[in-house]
Structure 1
Amino acid sequence: MSRVCVISPFTGLAGDMLLAALVDAGAPLEAVRAAVADTGLSGWDLTVERVLTHGLTGSRAVVSVTDDATSRGAGELIAMADRVRDRVVADTAVAALKAIAEVEGHLHGEDPDLVHLHELGGHDTLVDVVGVVAALRALDVRTVHCEALPIGSGTVRTAHGVLPCPAPATSALLRGALVVGTDLPGETVTPTAAALLRALGADYHPAPEMRMEATGYGVGTRTLPDRPNVAVVRLGDRAVADVRDLVVLETNLDDVTGEVLGHLLARLLDAGALDSWITPVVMKKGRPGHVLHALATPETADEVERLMFAESGTLGVRRTGVSRTALPRTTDTVHLHGMRVRRKHGPHHSKAEYEDAVAVARRTGLPLRLVLAMVTDLPEEP
């Protein structure tokens, strides 16, 4: 079976809200504390308290701090996260922190390794990032789904002054995420939460059919006048195939270069296509051409189609409704020659993530086919 976590950001999402919701759903607090302790962070304590808000009981994560370091360099936080003994937790936490560093570095014109984090450089960020990943690991969650993130309006006050909501760093980290407007003012999604969703590879498509096991409510620090400020997680086992109605979009092209076609495939995936591919064909008058295809959900089909028109210059796109059966799958991470390699597992086959295997082949000089075989045969890491 494949353990699934579905995140419902009722009023938004912050790192501490997600951490509290996971503990509320059954993640052992001691496992979370142990992972944070591995980082070498000093002067902190993490507790989770029960809170009643607007008739709903949930959990709130509280980080108590006894030292006065409120900001750190990104490189320091990343190095601390990399000390976590569980390599899966360490690698995912490092990926989230690197995403924050890269975005902040780009926004401020600095090297990501040298960028200084202000609001994000304190204890809370490291505790939240490492804690969330450790909680998911302890719950044996293999797949994370997230419903549309509510985006607030107005402004947020930062170390750089008053900025529009969502803050520029959050906006950059949410690229590719599913969002929706809300009547709530201020910051509803934090950069830490956005970076975690990216590092976890959160899926924003409708959650698969699953057998419900637990629900957790994470309460935020802000008090709202008319509703509980909570994020909800639902845990379950996905034991059946996922049958979903999808859309195939395609167009014939005979005047587009190979370079543009290759660029188009990547752009369609960025726009939300589940898959994209090209078929060579012979068109009228014997002209060689290509059929550009994209597989999309009904929700993303319009955006994928818009991009097809804009990037290819075509004058027409065909749509066909299809039904796809997807078998349950899980992912894990192993290490080969000291390098991190992700793997996908289905009921009948396992395979390495292509880009990770290529990186190992290039660094070691081993044939790619041998690296792929070695990764497939490696036992699951604890």
Structure 2
Amino acid sequence: MSVLYFDCFSGISGDMVIGALIDAGADITVLESELKKLHIEDEYELKQKKIVKNGITSTKFDVVLLNEKPHHHNHSHEHEHEHHHHNHSHEHEHEHHHHNHSHEHEHGHHHDHQHRSYRDIVQLIEAADFPEQVQDMALNIFKKIGEAEGKIHGMPLENVHFHEVGAVDSIIDIVGAAILIHDLKIGVFKSSPIPVGSGKIHIDHGVYPVPAPATLEILQGVPLMHSDVTAELTTPTGAAIIAALAEEFSNTPTMKVNNIGYGAGTKTFKDHPNVLRVMIGE
């Protein structure tokens, strides 16, 4: 079994993980065909391109949401859990379109993907007939986010409704990461300490320090690293992937590196490349 080392010198997000794994040689056609098992392919399309971030060629992965019908948005009722994805430096560029788009509840539209509950997501993944490792990994990552949200908002896990995290792009990021890791036959996961960034972000409930409450909750027990970058470097999805997978946190481990991948974040910083580096070897 191969070893995967996450070198998170600029934090981590779901789309950076997928970009880095594709960059390291994971098969995007496997990703596309396996994701069809979720039966939500009419809600998204996948895009990837090579871009240069501060001199480093990396893969930028994006989930483009389809079926966004603005006349169904209702801005009158914010949801408690909507706070944690604003101003994320790495999340998909399109995510700002639906930060405050609280869809009407249960109006039966197929594209009403903003408010899948934790229970809905579990059922979606369990019904997909993925290999056992893929299913277990995806459920484990989602559980980390659900438990953090539930704790912050004082509600049981099964009552947690996801806004961004339940939106299609995050389902794709999390399930997609599990699919690609399975495809690469990785058995051991290690990571650098995690920089979360610094400064403050504006969210629905006011101005919060970085890291956002959900991100910090998910990263309990994970070593954090100081960063002078005034931005949110690590997102809840990225945090959950690391918290669920990494068994050891260290500087570059003793290993023979066979593949290297760089996954690009959305923001560009003046003094360092906003990329996630992965090393795969034994």
Tell whether the structures are fold-level matches, with TM greater than 0.5. Answer: yes
Per-residue Cα deviation, 1:205-241 (whole angstroms, up to 9, x for no partner): 345422211100000011112222101001102xxxx
Q: Which of 255, 258, 273 matches 1:213?
A: 258
CA contact (8 A) 1:53 1:228 kept: yes
Q: Find the counterpart in structure 2 of residue 56 from structure 1.
A: 56
**How far, CA to CA, are the matches of 2:247 and 2:179 in structure 1?**
16
**Residue 80, structure 1, aligned to residue 124, structure 2:** yes
2:114 maps to a residue whose letter is T
CA contact (8 A) 1:119 1:159 kept: no
* Matched ranges for 1:88-103 at <5 A: 88-103=133-148
Could you tell me how far 1:34 is from its partner in structure 2? 2.4
CA contact (8 A) 2:116 2:162 kept: yes
CA contact (8 A) 1:35 1:130 kept: no
More displaced stretch, 36-45 vs 151-160? 151-160
* Matched ranges for 1:172-191 at <5 A: 172-191=217-236
Give the SS at the match of 1:186. coil
Q: Find the counterpart in structure 2 of residue 288 from structure 1.
A: none
Q: Find the counterpart in structure 2 of residue 65 from structure 1.
A: 65
Q: Find the counterpart in structure 1 of residue 35 from structure 2.
A: 36
- TM-score normalised by the chain length of structure 2: 0.79
* Structure 2 gaps, min length 5: 69-112
Q: Find the counterpart in structure 2 of residue 126 from structure 1.
A: 171
Per-residue Cα deviation, 1:26-75 (whole angstroms, up to 9, x for no partner): 00001112232212223111121100122211100011111233342222
Per-residue Cα deviation, 1:124-155 (whole angstroms, up to 9, x for no partner): 11010011111111111101110011121112
Moved over 6 A (4+): none
Q: Find the counterpart in structure 2 of residue 369 from structure 1.
A: none
**How far, CA to CA, are the matches of 1:137 and 1:15 in structure 2?**
16
1:139 maps to a residue whose letter is L
Q: 1:100 to 1:17 in 2, by over 3 A?
A: same
**How far, CA to CA, are the matches of 1:80 and 1:157 in structure 2?**
32
Instruction: Report which structure shows greater RCO (CA 8 Å, sep ≥6).
Output: 2
Q: Find the counterpart in structure 2 of residue 249 from structure 1.
A: none
Per-residue Cα deviation, 1:288-333 (whole angstroms, up to 9, x for no partner): xxxxxxxxxxxxxxxxxxxxxxxxxxxxxxxxxxxxxxxxxxxxxx
Q: Which has the higher strand share?
A: 1
Give the SS at the match of 1:142. strand
* Matched ranges for 1:342-357 at <5 A: none
- TM-score normalised by the chain length of structure 1: 0.59
**How far, CA to CA, are the matches of 1:54 and 1:203 in structure 2?**
29
RMSD value, Cα: 1.5
**How far, CA to CA, are the matches of 1:71 and 1:162 in structure 2?**
24
**Residue 142, structure 1, aligned to residue 187, structure 2:** yes
1:225 maps to a residue whose letter is K
**CA radius of gyration, larger in:** 1
Percent sequence identity is: 32
**Residue 114, structure 1, aligned to residue 159, structure 2:** yes
* Structure 1 gaps, min length 5: 238-382
Q: Which of 231, 235, 243 matches 2:280?
A: 235
**How far, CA to CA, are the matches of 1:207 and 1:154 in structure 2?**
28
Give the SS at the match of 1:210. coil
Give the SS at the match of 1:131. helix
Q: Find the counterpart in structure 1 of residue 2 from structure 2.
A: 3
